[in-house]
Structure formats: C-alpha cells, structure tokens
Structure 1
Amino acid sequence: MPGPWDRGAPCGRSQGHPRAIFTTPSSLSNQSAAPKFMIGAETEHNYEVFRECLSELITFRLAPTKERRRVKGRKNEIKPVAKEQDQEDAAEELGDFIDYLATEIYDSLPHDLKRLDYHGTQNDSTLKEMYSTPLDSEVYDTITATLPPTVLDSFEVYSLLPPTVDLSRLLEPVFTPYINSVTAAPPEHDYQVRATECEICDRGHLPLTYHHLIPRQMHAKAVKRGWAKEWELQKVAWLCRACHSFVHRIAGNEELAKELNSVERLMEREEVRNWGKWVGRIRWKKT
C-alpha cells in the first residue's frame, strides 16, 4: 500500500491542499545526495534557519489529508507494519527533498543575503533598508531571478506552486521569517530577554541580575575609542549575584568595556571559567 507521501499517482486536492503523495524522482535523489556546494561555517546557521523556513512551507502544502475513521478492530488484531515502514521511508525521502531544495535555493541567493545578520544590518543602513520586511517587489525579483530552473520545476512537479501564484510570491513566507530570524537582536542586546540560568555558572532557580557588558559610565568613551558601536551599548548578561560581583572584582569599568564586553570574552578568561565551575557546585536545597 503506498505511503502518505508516495507520488505514485497524480496529485489531487482536498481542503485547498495537495494530497500527500510523494516519492522523490531519481533525478532529484541523485542531486540531493550530492549538493552543489558545501555550507561554510560562517553561513551554516543561516542555512539551517532558511531550511527550516522552507520546510514549514513544503510540509504544510504536502500535509496528509485526514483519513476516514475506521471501524475499531479487535484488541488482539495483528497490525500491519508495512504501511508504517512506508511512511517512515517516505518521510525520510521528503527530508532529503527539502534538504536538496533548500541547498539549491540558498546556493543561488545573493552573497549578502546568505550572510545576513544583526550586526551587519546595524552597521550598514543600506543593507538594513534593502532587507527590511516585507521586502519590496524589486528585491524579490532580484532574488528569484538567480534561482536555478530545477527549483521551479520541483515546485511545479509537486504542485507546490498554485497556478495563480508566481514563484516570488510563493517564497515570500520563506524569506520573511528567514530575514526576521537572522537579523533579530541576540539576547545580550535586549535586557528584556531574560535568561533562566546564570550565564557564567549555569545555575538556575536563582535571582538573576543583568550586568551591563559595557558599563554606563564608559558608553561615550567606548564609542569614541571604537571599542563598541552605538547600537551595542545596551548589551547585557544575566548573572547571579555571586558571579556579577566576581566580574566587577576582577576588572574595572574600562577593562570591562574594552576587553570583556561580551559573554564569550568573559568566558575566555580562565579565572572566570574556574570561578563558574566552582560556584556552580553550590546548590541550594529546595525549601
């Protein structure tokens, strides 16, 4: 019996969605097994975000329709395992197809879009304006103009592209969340994004305080000397009181602003790591 993703029959429609019939053609399987390019470390995160956004679109459009309610069988009835195995195989094939399609599209994107991040948009007003969402039609046209023909073919073969919608509009729900996600401010830039554990000792269930990674007294000097940009001044780390006090004991305001202005830089200090390991062993009994 064909699985829910088996494309052995033409694609039908139900409730506005194509029926879930899926099998990756051998031509696509071969291409997905050998992607045209390797994802570099500097773009790996962005690629994974893009793949998730594309996956949401594809799985929604290929979601299985509800089956008719079946008559309940006997408790000791032998359940067929073939269908379950078919579904697992089909799901694996669907994952390969999404991976292939994400690679094809991502490889063709403009260089700056592939490497888009919060810091880049804060440092480049032109870049920030270009990729502000919702994207302008001209920007969409530029992006989709470089897509390989195999992408459009894939969307048409699997009825992912409705007749009344062009490819740029279809991919809008992919690019919008992708851009919003990769350009979002990291937690350290927003003190309202509260951590649940101390960022040095990893202890939870403790009152946390936010430590200004660039002390307020050093804001003007930090910008003037080039230690930080204006938009970086409000970065914070969530620390327990013990770790917060420790940080201020090992360095003055200027050193904090110049050398220790991120959690990563703090944790590069051996004394900070040793302190975190030691104080992290101190746990309070539940009351």
Structure 2
Amino acid sequence: MPTDDDRAHERETSNFQTFRECLSDATIRKLAIQPTKAKKSNKKNKLGRKNAIKPVVVTQPKSQHGEEGEQDTNNDAEGLADFTDYLASEIFSSFPPDLRLLSHAAVKEDVALKERYTDPLPNHIVEALVAPLPPSVPDSLTSYNVVPSSSDVANFLAPVLSAYCAAVTAPPPIWISTRTTYCELCLREWIPLTYHHLIPRAVHAKALKRGWHTEDVLNSVAWLCRACHSFVHGVAGNEELAREWYTVDLLAERDDVQKWVRWVGRVRWKSR
C-alpha cells in the first residue's frame, strides 16, 4: 500500500512535469520565429493566419569571443528539451514544499493556501518565489536570449507560475473519460495534457445560431500537450476554429500544423 511519502513523491513528480510544460510553452513563445507575410492559398484547408507561430530555433549562448555558436536545425528540438529540462529542475527545486505539492485537494482543504496561490499570482508572491532562485537561472535565461536582462526574470516567470498553479489546482474536467495517454497532435506520450475545446466556448452561441454545429457536439474536446494547445490557438481565431478546424483530423491536415508537430514531436524530456 502506498505510504504518504510515496503519494507526496508522485504528486511532486507530476507537478514537476506540469511546471516543465508551462515553462517550455513560455520559452517556445519567446524564441519563436516571426513569419513573413504568407501568400494566400486557393485551398481552403491550407489557410492559416498570417501571424501563425513557426517552429523555434534556440539561439546558442555567446562564446567568450562574443560570437554566437552555430547549431544545426535538426538539433534545435533536442537542445530546447535539454535547456528547458535543466532550467525547470533548477527553478522547481527552489520552490517551497507547499508549491511543489500543490493540488486541487490541497487548496480545497486550506483557504490560506488557495489565497496565496490564486491565479494570477500577486506580484509580491512572484517576487518571493523568484528571490531564492540560484544565479544559474537568470544567467541561463539571458544567455539564451529568453529575457534581455536578469531584472526581467520575474516578468517572464510570472505567467509561467500562474499557469502552473492554475493547472495543478484545477478540478478534474467533465471530459476526463475521453482522456488519452498522448497528445492527439504531436503523439508524445506521458506528457502533461490539457483539454482543447474543438469548438471554443466563446462562440458556442454563435455556432448554434448560424448553424455551424448542433448542440450535441459543442463540448467536443481534444487532449493536447500545452505546446500544441497554444500553437492551435495561435494559428486561428475562435470563429475560424469553430467553422473550419473543429476536429483533430481537420487540424492535422493543415500544413503549418504538420510542420509544427514534426518539430515539437522531437522535443523529448529526460527522466528526472
């Protein structure tokens, strides 16, 4: 029978994986290449927004001579995985125990804990969590051009911390029975998953009124890793997602999605 220590270890391991995904998503957004103006395609299912996120290229830290190191594009995913894994370990290890073990059950039982780690996190809480970070964290973030200076670390980590707290304290979704063990786009297994409303809730009323969908399919969801979830919302607005990209198969037909999943699918975490 699992002991309390065993359960605490499992919770901390699961929370670390969630935090690593939140940090990875934020890092990818910071390092994403801004695309040039896209040409229109005649094929409807090839359309994408002009500001669609492109796969990232991790910039190597500068050498002692001030020159940027070269990195083969095929190694970008592996380099990002190693960088994020190391950074997540350094940051997560500095958290107080109550944050490392945060859960929905914990905040239900402890009102003070819920108020302390509410989403979004208050500035004074973020500052208190960032203060004990080892010097390697701001050094790494600035070396890889994720933040311009060490004074920007708190601003960068604030939404990461808020996303982590929101994720680990969220109640089980009503669609838990449809949960998969892998991201339905990039197919990575044993990675923290989020549920994506294939027909965004913000346009449910419009979808019914205009006859885009019937009520029985409004709550259809796909289980996606955090990176793929963010990418999907970056390539199309809510109305376009509801009208044109309302199934995993339709999303997977897009050229930009195919390019993305080929790249992000190579981002593999090492065992902690």
TM-score tier, shorter chain, comes to 0.3 to 0.5
Q: Which has the higher contact order (CA 8 A, sep 6+)?
A: 2
TM-score normalised by length of structure 2: 0.47
Give 1 or 2 for the bigger CA radius of gyration.
1
